[in-house]
Structure 1
């Protein structure tokens, strides 16, 4: 019997409650929107629901407005990978706004790939 192909669906997107990065729990959605009223501590992103993907890997990237690190260099996009741990898996991709607020405003583009193909993509405007 052939292995079933994973399915992907964005379950929610927008502004979320503060996320405990040490917890397995997904943050609670506060408002569905791609227009985010940015304040220090605002959490935003999307939740991707994956079925039949246990043992597979996702790659992700967060493109953000140009801001600098401690040495004054422009930060590259955030990238990473996530392993799918169960056959009914939720993956939260997002970020939280930190100081200084001014250089975080603008377009944030969040993308998730599975085997080189885009399976989720959202653009958020932080204002």
Structure 2
């Protein structure tokens, strides 16, 4: 008899502005302000945190997509949405999806940033944060 696949329980516990995130450290950046309006200030970190319960399972993975307002590369071309994938390695798992207002300019960062998270192809979170002129 086939084993029934357990569905992960997902709750968004915060969104908005966070302290600068050290990508070399494991863990979640410190939460600062609950908001969906982010000032376009260099190095301002923003995103959301999900608490995932019953998440660990054979091959379970988080995939994500960040649709940005038209961030340009060094050649001036609009970059594709940012995407990625991570394994769920604990039954109780905390996941941070975020970005920061990065240079060399902030003008192409202003506008809606839609952040979407999936577990095994099923959408579990969707939040749009608006980067605005300071």
The reply to whether TM is greater than 0.5 is yes
Partner of 1:94: 98
| 1:75 counterpart = 2:79 | yes
Residue aligned with 2:10, SS: strand
TM value normalised by structure 2:
0.89
TM value normalised by structure 1:
0.94
- Which residue, 31, 35, 38 being the options, matches 2:37? 35
**How many residue pairs get matched?**
127
- Which residue, 56, 60, 66 being the options, matches 1:62? 66
Q: For structure 2, which runs of at least 5 residues remain unmatched after alignment?
A: none
Residue aligned with 1:11, SS: strand
Q: Distance in 2 between matches of 1:9 and 1:88?
A: 11
- Which residue, 44, 47, 50 being the options, matches 2:49? 47
Q: CA RMSD in A?
A: 1.3
- Which residue, 103, 127, 131 being the options, matches 1:126? 131
Q: Residue 81 of structure 1: CA displacement?
A: 0.6
Partner of 1:103: 108
Q: Distance in 2 between matches of 1:67 and 1:36?
A: 16
